[in-house]
Amino acid sequence: MAAKKLDKSHGFMVQIVKNQIDRNEYEKQMKEKNNRKQTKSSSKKPVQSLYKAPSGSRTKEQVMDPIFKLEFEDSKGTIHEAVVHKSDEGITVAKRIGSKADLPQSLIEALARRIDAEMNNYTSAS
């Protein structure tokens, strides 16, 4: 005896197939809609600019204008170099060198005074 096949011609099966096709179309539309929302929402985000510290009245040339190059030899014989700019302060340059050379605070302060004196000599000469 041969197996009987389902008769799909009646309305019940036609309605099921139609519902499946409609559901697939609806899901495609929702995916496209969500994709469009994601691309639109990402473009609507405000661009956050980076913070730039105010530079005051100094121009970039004044800040980066080197006055002299300082070379310092520590007790181990290591030579430390630092370029001193117009905008630098003696104490900041001395602390930078002092931290690299492991100098005590008293020598850092003496070095700062010497750097300040050299900077004054330069500014008074020019």
* Residue 1 DSSP one-character state: -
Dist. CA 37–CA 40, nearest whole Å: 5
- Determine if the pTM surpasses 0.75: no
Does residue 89 sit in helix, strand or coil?
coil
Would you tell me how many other CB atoms lie within 10 Å of the CB of residue 20?
10
* Residue 22 pLDDT level (bands cut at 50, 70, 90): very high
pLDDT(57) > 60? no
> Average of pLDDT values for 115-122?
85
Check residue 17 and give its pLDDT.
84
Highest mean pLDDT among 8-12, 32-36, 45-49: 32-36
For 88-105, write each residue's pLDDT tens digit: 888 998 898 888 888 889
Check residue 60 and give its pLDDT.
54
Check residue 90 and give its pLDDT.
86
Check residue 39 and give its pLDDT.
65
Contact assessment for residue 98 and residue 108, using Cβ atoms and an 8 Å cutoff: yes
CA distances to 45, 95, 101, 104, 105 from 75, in Å: 57, 17, 9, 12, 16
* Residue 115 pLDDT level (bands cut at 50, 70, 90): confident
